[in-house]
Structure 1
Amino acid sequence: MPAQLKARKYNRREAIAGYLFIAPWIIGFLIFTLGTMIYSLAISFSHFNLATNKMRPGGLSNYRALLDDPRVAASLKNTLFFAVLAVPLEICFALLLALLLSRARRGAGFFRTVYYLPKMTPAVATAAVFFLLLNGNTGAINRGLHLLGVPGPQWLVDPAWVRPSIVLMALWGVSGTMVIFLAALKNVPRDLYEVASLDGASPLRQFFSITLPMISGAVFFNVVILTINAFQVFDQAYLLFWRDQSNAAPEASLFYAVYLFQQAFRQFNFGFAAAMAWLLFVILLVLTWIQVKIGNRYVYYEAER
């Protein structure tokens, strides 16, 4: 009995110590995340103007206004187009880089560092570089296409090429996804490839029969995270098109997060912006639920063997 009492006291002290260590995170989450979410939900049912600091009840008027505002639908359409185009390209490009780096022997650390450096580049600097690269008249990309005999488009002017230009800029920071794939590839047992080679399986067959199933957990994780990030795209579109208000930005560059920012910090219509934020939250919640349902059918987990 004394031993059980001593063990119980020890476990209690361990639990208290653990809670004390995570207390700063818990306090920060309750105040800066959960607290702000509850507050934004409250002001989404009101008319709150930050400039005048006045709030009056609005009921469901902000949510009805979402349905009546054509720019909300247009920004959602642009964001969905970006997500459908950017997420698969980022997954494929990151996986290709990870496969190349996993096979590197000499200078592997150097190449990993070089490939990861774009992720560390400030968004403003990246936007400045791509603004020059994507210039329809003097940009390096169009000059390269011209050497190949291909006429380059007006990336930043033509509405049909505005969203692809933002996708190109998003691919610049794909190295974060690449690192996750690289870690997953390192955990694939080498003996599986040896057995497949003895059976005469080609490298392509090994990729689809061994590599892809074994890293399906990482693929699923990256798809979910990249989808959430794609629906919150802001930096690329804002820095390329909406930073300078003296020029008229093309409507194709109006993404949902950009329009939300304009409503909150340009029009000071915080009630409407909060309603937009909660609509985005519900959309992402539904999309993530669908992805989890689909992922549970196809994702391989080591613990389930």
Structure 2
Amino acid sequence: MAAPQAPLGATVAVLDRPSTMDSPPPARRRVSRRWRHRLTVLSFMAPAGVGIVVFFAYPLLAAIYFSFTRFDLLTSPEWVGLKNYVYLFAHDPLAHKAAWNTLWFVVVLVPARMVAALLTAMLLTSLRRGGGFFRTVFYLPALAPPVAATIAFVFLFNPATGPVNGVLSWFGIDGPLWFDSPDWSKPSLVLLGTWAVGDLMVIFLAALLDVPKPLYEAASLDGANPWQRFRFVTLPALSPVLLFAAVTGVIQTLQYFTQAAVAASVASGSATTGGGISSTFGYPEESTLTYPLHLYVQGFRYYDMGYANALAVVLFVVAFGVTLILLRRFRAFAGGRL
């Protein structure tokens, strides 16, 4: 007796049904897609990763290693342990002076630039006419090359022939020695820094224009005076920009080099010596000797690269620590919104 046959439609349905053996399970497909996505992301990040390794990680590790050695670029490094750090903290008075000068610039120059930029930006937002012209005028000093701007400032503030003291004499004021005085050399550099504040001013200006107008209107209806509107509306809205300006300003000031070097060389009336290293860095009386200047002199005048690397490592640690402190303080100031 013949076996019963299945209907033709059922046979076709069975043949058309996809076999589970021909395709991977859903979990395996999800893992495969996840890995393809990760490889795609890594391929786009590879150039930046290579740059970080080559230009940041390797130099940092090399600097840490050389900071424990005696190295003059001519002979092989000689391991000396912590001697460079001991000399730095206990036996190098110039390093202590340079650190103090750099700290002075961080405490004075960074807030001065932030306040000047913020006040200038607020002034420009209040102008009804000529705003574009004055924005250009206030921004132009930021385009001046640092070397040229510093040379111009030294000549403008020359105690004998400079026009600044000439104008002060019209009012019966005896102008100070400015860049030739150990008491006035750092304030003179602060004036130079606040003059070229256009780059920071543009950032504050954009942030001020982005503050919602209804917030000011609501504060005015609640009876807030101008100071209260600034304190409770403007400052909280500007907190991310203030954080950016503070962090970048501190890092740049910890690396303060060009203006101090040029001002000392020009004010002393002496050109640079062999290798481009001036013998008058810090003039007058080491008042403008910053930490990066001291590091540069140790490395490229005395060829003490081991000690120079120790100075660089300490500078990196200080900059990193100050940045973390600023992040925490600004987060508390902004009520945890950063």
TM-score (norm 1): 0.89
- 1:189, distance to aligned residue in structure 2 (A): 1.2
Superposed counterparts of 1:1-305, under 5 Å: 12-50=35-73, 52-67=74-89, 68-242=91-265, 244=272, 245=278, 249-250=283-284, 251-300=286-335
Say which is worse superposed, 115-124 or 130-139, in terms of deviation: 115-124
More helix by share: 1
Counterparts of 2:36 and 2:85 in 1: how far apart (Å)?
49
Indicate conservation of the 8 Å contact 1:45/1:271, yes or no: yes
Contact 1:102 1:182 in 2 (8 A): yes
Cα distance in structure 1, aligned partners of 2:161 and 2:25: 82
Write the distance in 2 (CA, Å) between the matches of 1:235 and 1:226.
15
CA drift at 1:12: 4.7
The count of corresponding residues between Structure 1 and Structure 2 is 302
**Mean Cα deviation higher: 111-120 or 57-66:** 111-120
Mapped to 2, the partners of 1:5 and 1:289 lie a distance apart of: 43
**Separation (CA, whole Å) in 1 of partners of 2:130 and 2:32:** 53
Which whole-Å CA distance do the structure 1 matches of 2:196 and 2:307 have between them? 32
Give distance in 1, aligned partners of 2:36 and 2:288.
55
Q: CA deviation at 1:151?
A: 1.5
> Which residue does the alignment assign to 2:20?
none
Write the deviation string for residues 56-75 of structure 1: whole angstroms up to 9, x where unpaired: 11111111110211000010
Unaligned runs of at least 5 residues, structure 1: none
Would the alpha carbon gap of residues 17 and 115 (structure 1) be closer, same or farther in structure 2, given more than 3 Å must change?
Answer: farther
CA gap of 1:173–1:6, structure 2 versus 1, over 3 A, is: farther
CA distance 1:24–1:172, shift in 2 (3 Å): farther
Q: For structure 2, list consecutive stretches of 5 or more residues without a partner in the other structure.
A: 1-23, 266-270, 273-277
Partner letter of residue 280 of structure 1?
L
Note if contact 2:157-2:179 (Cα within 8 Å) is conserved in structure 1.
Answer: yes
Q: Whole-Å Cα distance in 1 between the matches of residues 320 and 296 of structure 2?
A: 21
User: Distance in 2 between the 1:128 and 1:7 partners?
Assistant: 64
Q: Could you list the structure 1 runs, at least 4 aligned residues long, displaced by more than 6 angstroms after superposition.
A: 1-8
Q: How far does residue 80 in structure 1 lie from its aligned partner after superposition? A: 1.0
- CA–CA distance in 1 between the matches of 2:123 and 2:27? 55
* Counterpart residue identity of residue 209, structure 2: K
Deviation of residue 28 (structure 1)?
Answer: 1.1
The one-letter code matched in structure 1 to 2:112 is L
From the CA coordinates, give the structure whose radius of gyration is larger.
Answer: 2
Does the CA contact (< 8 Å) of 2:142 and 2:196 recur in 1?
Answer: yes
Residues of 2 paired with 1:240 and 1:59: CA distance? 37
Identity over aligned pairs, percent: 38
Work out whether residues 123 and 235 of structure 1, in 8 Å CA contact, stay in contact via their aligned partners in 2: yes
* TM-aligned CA deviation for residue 252 of structure 1: 0.4
**Measured at CA, do residues 147 and 61 of structure 1 come closer, stay the same or move farther in structure 2, by a change above 3 Å?**
same
Q: Aligned partners of 2:95, 2:321: CA distance in 1, in Å?
A: 18
Once superposed, what is the RMSD of the aligned Cα atoms?
2.4
In structure 2, relative to structure 1, the CA distance for the partners of 1:114 and 1:2 (3 Å cut) is farther
- Aligned AA for 2:166? R
Shift, 1:187, TM fit: 2.4
What is the one-letter code of the residue matched to 2:141? P
Aligned mates of 1:82, 1:194 — CA distance in 2 = 39
